[in-house]
Amino acid sequence: MKHPEPQPTRTLPGAKAAQTGEREKIQRVIERRGLCGLANDTRWDELITAMRDYAGQRPAYRWKCVDGRPVGWETEWLYHLPFPMISVEWMDLLFRHHPLRPGMSGPVWVTGEVEDHAERIETIVKAIGFEYTMGKNMLRIFGYSPKDLNLFDD
């Protein structure tokens, strides 16, 4: 009996995904700025997995890397994360928002309705063991201290 050929599997990037030398470059920035780590690759991988497995509309997120400026909101949890995650100074998860619905040219925000996933997202983040703070619309995960609250809940 002939067995079917194994199909190649596509693996998704994890917290350590980086180009050669990238982690070392980030480590030098961390040392130069005197930052103290509050998160690690294992915790980031747990968060990434939980968000990729999240039933329903995944929360939007934004982040600031130790060597850059804050970025705008993102909703894609497969490839658009700030890899390697060692670079993340903080990450905001938006838990209260207008839902997205299919539109002619892509998803559109539904005005008048608001979804609130605060309890669900906080449960995930707390179980992973991140240091975080809750706002009225978002939760901020801290990758490093001192804890930066710039733009929080804006």
pLDDT in tens, 63-98: 999 999 999 999 899 999 999 999 999 999 999 876
Please answer whether residues 91 and 61 qualify as being in contact, where contact means their C-beta atoms are separated by less than 8 angstroms: yes
Write out pLDDT tens, residues 97-118.
Answer: 766 666 766 666 667 777 888 9
User: Looking only at Cα atoms, what is the longest distance across the chain?
Assistant: 63
Cα separation, 127 vs 123, whole angstroms: 6
Q: What is the CA radius of gyration of the chain?
A: 17
CA distance 78 to 58: 11
Residue 76: name the closest of 119, 41, 115, 106 by CA.
106
- Provide the pLDDT for residue 101: 64
Single-letter residue type at 73: W
pLDDT of 3 > 60? The answer is no
pLDDT value, residue 115: 80
pLDDT tens digits, 8-55: 456 899 999 999 999 999 999 999 999 999 999 999 999 999 999 998
DSSP symbol at 21: T
Distance in angstroms between the alpha carbons of the first and the last residue of the chain: 62
Q: Could you give the CA distance from residue 134 to residue 43 in angstroms, rounded to a whole number?
A: 18
Q: Report whether pLDDT(6) > 50.
A: no
At residue 4, the pLDDT reads 53
